[in-house]
């Protein structure tokens, strides 16, 4: 079976890819091991008498155990640690744009998905080109599957559209699975790495459960404000 650089392959091209010990407790028999007097409550303090400066003797008060002795510094109360407010999380890369993949579109012996570029940031993003698409194996390594700019049976490729995409704005591209006579055996992939452009933040989209895992080549149209027809 001919393979391409050792990647996983699947035969079949007739109809293109469908794609311890317990704790020790001391109880009982305590009198046999504890010296006499230990473990008994301390004797109740009795009042002592001190001579008074004038008159008869005066009973001294029992010292307050919680009182701070003269000259000692009282320990400060434990400080309260402020709990930081929860930081909202999102899936917007540092570039301010992300790429979402839509459901699978089907035609005779063909498959495609619509890629949506979303400006999820706070600043305009300049768009002028094609998506960045890479095919990955189960280890996240790139597979030698060509990804070509160009048309497919799902629509023509009118070419790039230069747009300063405002925050919240979107643009579209069609990513299609194609088959060629020279392709040989189909390559089995596990995910696609998608980005708005090669220098923008990427995200991995698993292909588990899809017949899209089997592929020969991919074609993609340029980013446009409207889908090609």
Give tens-digit pLDDT for 68-124: 454 544 444 433 333 333 223 348 989 999 999 999 998 888 899 999 999 999 999
- pLDDT at res. 11: 43
- pLDDT at res. 133: 97
**CB contact set of 120 (below 8 Å; sequence gap of 6+):** 90, 91, 92, 96, 97, 98, 167
**Beta-strand pair 147-149/217-220:** parallel
Give tens-digit pLDDT for 17-57: 333 333 333 333 333 334 444 555 555 555 445 444 445 55
Per-residue pLDDT, averaged over 182-196, amounts to 90
How far does the chain reach from its first CA to its final CA, in angstroms? 39
**CB contact set of 206 (below 8 Å; sequence gap of 6+):** 190, 191
Residue with the bigger pLDDT between 48 and 228: it is 228
Write down the residue that tokens 């060629």 correspond to.
180
- pLDDT at res. 89: 34
Residue 32 structure tokens: 């046999």
Residue with the bigger pLDDT between 227 and 79: it is 227
- pLDDT at res. 194: 97
Query: How far is Cα 30 from Cα 198, in angstroms, rounded to an integer?
Result: 77
Share of the chain above pLDDT 90, in %: 45
Judged against a pLDDT cut of 90, whether residue 189 lies above it is answered with: yes
Per-residue pLDDT, averaged over 140-151, amounts to 94
Residue with the bigger pLDDT between 24 and 175: it is 175
Question: Which helix (H) or strand (E) segment is 217 a member of?
Answer: strand 217-220
- pLDDT at res. 179: 85
Residue 78 structure tokens: 């434990």
- pLDDT at res. 170: 97
Length of the chain: 229
Query: How far is Cα 117 from Cα 203, in angstroms, rounded to an integer?
Result: 12
Judged against a pLDDT cut of 50, whether residue 2 lies above it is answered with: no
User: CATH says 91-220 is which class?
Assistant: mainly beta
Tell me the CA distances in angstroms from 13 to 23, 188, 210, one per residue in order: 68, 13, 17
Sign of CA dihedral 60, 64, 67, 69: positive
Q: Identify the three-state secondary structure at position 93.
A: coil
User: Could you tell me if 122 and 115 are in contact, meaning their C-beta atoms sit under 8 angstroms apart?
Assistant: no
- pLDDT at res. 84: 32
Judged against a pLDDT cut of 70, whether residue 148 lies above it is answered with: yes
Tell me the CA distances in angstroms from 1 to 9, 27, 144, 177, 189, one per residue in order: 9, 76, 17, 22, 18
- pLDDT at res. 210: 78
**Average pLDDT of the chain to the nearest whole number:** 73
- pLDDT at res. 8: 53
What share of residues in the chain are helix, strand, coil (percent, to 5)?
5, 30, 65
Query: How far is Cα 189 from Cα 208, in angstroms, rounded to an integer?
Result: 9
- pLDDT at res. 185: 84
Residue 146 structure tokens: 């060509």
Share of the chain above pLDDT 70, in %: 60
Strand runs labelled E in 17-96: 49-50, 58-59
């Amino acid at each position: 079976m001919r393979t391409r650089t050792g990647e996983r392959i699947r035969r079949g091209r007739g109809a293109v890819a469908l794609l311890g010990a317990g704790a020790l407790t001391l109880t009982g028999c305590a009198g046999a091991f504890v010296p006499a007097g230990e473990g008994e409550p301390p004797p109740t303090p009795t009042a002592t008498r001190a001579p008074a400066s004038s008159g008869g003797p005066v009973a001294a008060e029992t010292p307050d155990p919680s009182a701070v002795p003269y000259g000692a510094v009282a320990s400060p109360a434990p400080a309260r640690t402020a709990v930081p407010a929860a930081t909202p999380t999102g899936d917007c890369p540092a570039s301010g744009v992300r790429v979402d993949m839509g459901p699978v579109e089907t035609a005779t012996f063909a498959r495609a998905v619509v890629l949506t570029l979303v400006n999820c940031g706070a600043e305009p993003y300049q768009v002028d080109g094609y998506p960045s698409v890479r095919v990955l194996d189960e280890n996240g390594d790139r597979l030698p599957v060509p990804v070509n700019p160009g048309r497919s049976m799902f629509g023509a490729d009118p070419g790039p559209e230069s747009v300063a995409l405002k925050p919240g704005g979107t643009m579209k591209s069609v990513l299609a699975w194609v088959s060629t006579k020279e392709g040989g055996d189909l390559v089995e992939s596990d995910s696609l790495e998608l980005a708005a452009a090669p220098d923008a933040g990427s995200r991995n989209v698993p292909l588990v459960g899809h017949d899209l895992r089997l592929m020969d080549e991919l074609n993609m149209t340029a980013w446009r404000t409207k889908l090609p027809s």
